[in-house]
Structure 1
C-alpha cells in the first residue's frame, strides 16, 4: 500500500506535465499547419536538391554552356 501512495501522485503529476505541454504547444502554434509539413516533403525544389560531386557539376556546366 505504501508503494501506491507514491505511484498515484507520480502518475497524476506526469499526466499534468503532459497536459501542460500539450496546452503550451496549442497556444504557441505548434499544431497549426499539419498538412504543410507533409506536402513540403513532396515538393521538388532545386535549392533542396542534394549536392553532387565535382565531376557531376563539371559535366552539368559543360552540357548547359555547350562548350568544354
Structure 2
C-alpha cells in the first residue's frame, strides 16, 4: 500500500511530461507535412543542373 504513494505521483509526472512533449511537437510543426518526404523519394531530380567547375576547383 505504501508503494502507491510513490507510484501515483510518479505516473502523474510522467503523463504530464508525455502530454507536454506531444503538445510541443504539435506547436513546433512536427506533424505538418507527413506525406511530403515520402513522395520526395519518388521525384525525378534529373532537371537539376550541376554547378559548373572552374580551374580553381580542379586544383
Which category of TM-score, normalised to the shorter sequence, fits these structures?
Answer: 0.5 to 0.7
Is the counterpart of residue 42 in structure 1 residue 59 in structure 2? no
Give the alignment's Cα RMSD to 1 decimal.
Answer: 1.4
Larger radius of gyration: 1
Pair 1:32 & 2:32 matched: yes
Structure number with the higher helix fraction is: 1
Report the Cα distance in structure 2 between the residues aligned to 1:44 and 1:8, rounded to whole angstroms.
54
The Cα shift of 1:31 comes to: 0.7
Matches within 5 A, 1:1-68: 1-45=1-45
Runs of 4 or more off by more than 4 Å in structure 1?
none
Structure 1 CA distance for aligned equivalents of residues 41 and 9 of structure 2: 42
Aligned residues: 46
Higher RCO (C-alpha 8 Å, min separation 6): 2
Gaps of 5+ in 2: 47-59
